[in-house]
Structure 1
Amino acid sequence: MFNSILNQAFEQYVLDRVDDILSIAGVADVKYKQVVKDAGAVLEKLMEIGRELEEQHPELLRLVMEYEAATNMESGLAAEIVYREGIRDSCRVRQEVANFMQREGHRDRLFVPIR
């Protein structure tokens, strides 16, 4: 039960943190901001074409909307996966640095000059 509570809290933390990061990137990162703007323009054009062709191809507008939802889901999951891996990498790097420092510390103690 405790693990389940911890897992839920961690899941929520990851989701909240990814949202925060993407919100900050949307304001502070020029390249990301431009990509979001470009993607919005492309989607708007697709929606416009979908509305124009709706009578000839009624499935087109729905397909565009489904594609938007799918790409949004994919982007969100990709960001979440990358963030989780970043946390794992951080833990591994920290452990490797600690191991290195410990080995280096032992080496220094082995070669203490005798006075």
Structure 2
Amino acid sequence: MFNSILNQAFNEYVFDRVGNILSVAGVADEKYRKTVKEADSVLSQLMESARELEAQHPELLRLVMAYEAATTLESGLAAEIVYREGIRDSCGVRQEFANFMQKQMQGYQYPSAY
């Protein structure tokens, strides 16, 4: 039960942290902000075209909306996966560094007192 509570808390932390990172990136990262703006523009154009063609192709608007939802979900999941892997990498790098330092200290000879 304790592990379940910890897993739930960790999952909520990751979800919140990814959201915060993307919010900051939307303000601080010019390339990301530009990409989001371009994606929004393309989606708006698709929605406009789908509405204009709705009489001839009623499924088009629904498909565009479904595509938007799917790509939004995919982007969110990708960000979450990358964040989790970053945490795993960080733990692994720390462990490797600790092992390296331990080996360095084992081979270190302290100067002898005269």
Q: Say which SS state the counterpart of residue 31 (structure 1) adopts.
A: helix
TM-score norm. by structure 1 comes to: 0.96
Q: Map 1:55-66 to 2 at 5 A.
A: 55-66=55-66
Gaps of 5+ in 1: none
Say whether 1:68 aligns with 2:60.
Answer: no
AA aligned to 2:46 is L
* C-alpha RMSD of matched pairs (Å): 0.7
Partner of 1:10 in structure 2? 10
Q: Say which SS state the counterpart of residue 102 (structure 1) adopts.
A: helix
Partner of 1:44 in structure 2? 44
Instruction: State the shift of 1:80 in Å.
Output: 0.2
Q: Distance in 1 between matches of 2:110 and 2:38?
A: 62
- For residues 5-44 of structure 1, the C-alpha deviation after alignment (integer angstroms, 9 at most, x for no partner) is 0000000000000000000000000000000000000000
Say whether 1:89 aligns with 2:89.
Answer: yes
Q: Distance in 2 between matches of 1:80 and 1:11?
A: 10
Runs of 4+ that moved beyond 6 A? none
Q: Distance in 2 between matches of 1:76 and 1:26?
A: 14
- For residues 43-84 of structure 1, the C-alpha deviation after alignment (integer angstroms, 9 at most, x for no partner) is 000000000000000000000000000000000000000000
Instruction: State the shift of 1:85 in Å.
Output: 0.1
- The number of aligned residues is 113
Q: Distance in 2 between matches of 1:59 and 1:72?
A: 20
Q: Say which SS state the counterpart of residue 54 (structure 2) adopts.
A: coil
Q: Distance in 2 between matches of 1:79 and 1:19?
A: 9
AA aligned to 1:51 is R
Gaps of 5+ in 2: none
Q: Distance in 2 between matches of 1:112 and 1:4?
A: 48
Instruction: State the shift of 1:112 in Å.
Output: 3.0
Q: Distance in 2 between matches of 1:88 and 1:102?
A: 21
TM-score norm. by structure 2 comes to: 0.97
Partner of 1:33 in structure 2? 33
Identical amino acids, percent of aligned pairs: 71
